[in-house]
Amino acid sequence: MSPAPEDEVRRRQRERARLMAILLGIFVVLMFAITIAKMSINR
Amino acid sequence: MPIREDAAIPADWRDLLALTKPRVMSLVVFTGLCGLLAAPVPVNAVLGFAAVLCIALGAGAAGALNQWYEADLDARMKRTASRPLPAGRMDKQTALHFGVGLAVFSVVLMDVAANHLAAAILAVSILFYVFVYTIWLKRRTAQNIVIGGAAGAFPPLIGWAAATGDVSTLPVLLFAIIFLWTPPHFWALSLFVRSDYANAGVPMLPVVAGVQSTRRHILLYTLPMIAAAVAPWAMGLAGWIYGAAAVGLNTAFLILALLVAANRTADPKHMRPEKQLFAFSILYLFGLFAALVADKWVLA
């Protein structure tokens, strides 16, 4: 892989960080929904 | 902190997505969803969604690990040379970490959202695809996709197990349909991209046994596939909607397989029946599984 210009590296890091934040948010919501669903089934 | 001039550029998220083979994933997700919806128990929408998501993530992980291992091979094939690893847009370690991470995450989440059995089958399907198909069989034998096809046949079994917690006759038949469908599907493709496989040194059937032998094999494997596809209806496990779809789709598949068997050309430009069979085989699987779900939901 060739050396990368600094602004391109920064851009990709920013994009990936943003995406990771969104995915983590979705994961938290999903885990909450799964917990509620399991509780309602077991009730 | 300034970035070192020789620092490798981080992988673009689009390339990470490409590692998961999204197009292959669509068929996997669909058959998994159909296995879940065809189960004879009501499924909680959230848990059902989570189970299908896990099937998708597991398939993506298997695809990523496949591309990690086959980067050298992909670089030698026109069809795959533009993938992130052979094109040099990503380093191998990133692909390996991404694949392993996604695989572990999908299995753990399946265990939490569904049950141990579904998680275990998902884990087996990923391991089977990576170790049995990709690492062991693909470069060694022309039977690679016959045995390796089992990896792609697991999703309806996983969907069913996620919904019911067990495995019965119908999901095993669904497994058998995809297992027996895989060889004609891939052999049809490998006939018109034969030179690609030959250049890469992959012992696909047309490369090892020749074009005519492959055409006979396609027809030969179509027959048990038809038997497996009609079996759910014949055994009373599905109703007339599935039965009608199975008869229609299998008749069309058989006609195309006969046209392929009758074709004599070795020039990919004149392999119209092979291209038609390959395209139709995708439609066939979608149609058959959609009919199974429609059958259950309409006739219930």
Convert the pLDDT of each residue in B227-238 to its tens digit. 999 999 999 999
Q: How far is B217 from chain A (nearest CA, A)?
A: 43
Contact list, A12 vs chain B (CB under 8 Å):
9-12
Kind plus residue range of the DSSP H or E element containing A3: none
* Per-residue pLDDT at B3 exceeds 80: no
Q: How far is B163 from chain A (nearest CA, A)?
A: 13
Tell me how far apart the alpha carbons of residues A28 and A33 are, in angstroms, rounded to a whole number. 9
* Nearest partner of B99 among B193, B213, B17, judged by Cα: B17
**Mean pLDDT, range A13-24, rounded to an integer:** 93
Reported as a single tens digit per residue, the pLDDT across B121-136 is 999 999 999 999 999 9
Q: Across the interface, do A1 and B2 touch by the CB < 8 Å criterion?
A: no
CB B110 within 8 A of CB B118: yes
**Mean pLDDT, range A4-24, rounded to an integer:** 89
DSSP-based three-state secondary structure for B80: coil
B113 touches chain A (CB under 8 A): yes
Q: Across the interface, do A4 and B88 touch by the CB < 8 Å criterion?
A: no
Q: How far is A7 from chain B (nearest CA, A)?
A: 9
Q: What is the mean pLDDT of chain B?
A: 93
* Per-residue pLDDT at A12 exceeds 90: no
At B249 the pLDDT is 98
* Per-residue pLDDT at B97 exceeds 90: yes
Reported as a single tens digit per residue, the pLDDT across B8-61 is 678 888 999 999 999 888 999 999 999 999 999 999 999 999 999 999 999 999
Confidence bin at A42 (pLDDT 50/70/90)? confident
Reported as a single tens digit per residue, the pLDDT across B51-93 is 999 999 999 999 999 999 999 999 998 889 999 999 999 999 9
> Can you give the pTM of this predicted structure?
0.91
Confidence bin at B7 (pLDDT 50/70/90)? very low
| A4 vs B9, B53, B113: nearest CB | B9
Which residue range forms the structural domain that includes residue A38?
Answer: 9-43
* Nearest partner of B160 among B240, B237, B65, judged by Cα: B237
At B252 the pLDDT is 98
Between the alpha carbon of residue B230 and those of residues B7, B39, B176, B257, B287, the distances in Å are 57, 18, 11, 17, 13
Kind plus residue range of the DSSP H or E element containing B34: helix B22-38
Core vs surface per residue A3-35: b (16+ CB within 10 A) or e: ebeeeebeebeeeeeeeeeeeeeeeeebeebbe
Q: CA of B48: which chain A residue's CA is closest? A: A34
Tokens of B85: 């690893």
Q: How far is A29 from chain B (nearest CA, A)?
A: 11
Half-sphere exposure (Cβ direction) of B176: Cα atoms closer than 13 Å: 16
| A1 vs B8, B12, B47: nearest CB | B8
Q: How far is A30 from chain B (nearest CA, A)?
A: 8
- Note whether residue A2 is domain-resident: no
What is the interface size between A and B, counted as CB pairs within 8 Å?
49
- Note whether residue A3 is domain-resident: no
Tell me how far apart the alpha carbons of residues B218 and B127 are, in angstroms, rounded to a whole number. 27
Identify any residues that bridge with A3 across adjacent strands, giving them in sequence order: B8
Q: Across the interface, do B46 and A41 touch by the CB < 8 Å criterion?
A: no
B5 touches chain A (CB under 8 A): yes
- Note whether residue A21 is domain-resident: yes
Please give the tally of structural domains in chain A: 1
B265 touches chain A (CB under 8 A): no
At B113 the pLDDT is 96
Contact partners, residue B231, CB within 8 Å, separation at least 6: B173, B176, B237
CB B288 within 8 A of CB B177: yes
DSSP state of B7: P
- Note whether residue A40 is domain-resident: yes
Q: CA of B53: which chain A residue's CA is closest? A: A30
Confidence bin at B5 (pLDDT 50/70/90)? very low
- Note whether residue A4 is domain-resident: no
Positive/negative CA dihedral, A23, A24, A27, A33: negative
Q: Across the interface, do A12 and B3 touch by the CB < 8 Å criterion?
A: no
CATH code for residues B12-165: 1.10.357.140
Domain ranges within chain B, ordered by starting residue: 12-165, 168-300
At B206 the pLDDT is 93
Kind plus residue range of the DSSP H or E element containing B12: none
Confidence bin at B2 (pLDDT 50/70/90)? very low
Q: At what angle do helices B272-299 and B211-234 cross, to 10 degrees?
A: 10
CB A1 within 8 A of CB A12: no
Question: Comparing A24-33, B79-88, B252-261, which segment has the lowest mean pLDDT?
Answer: B79-88
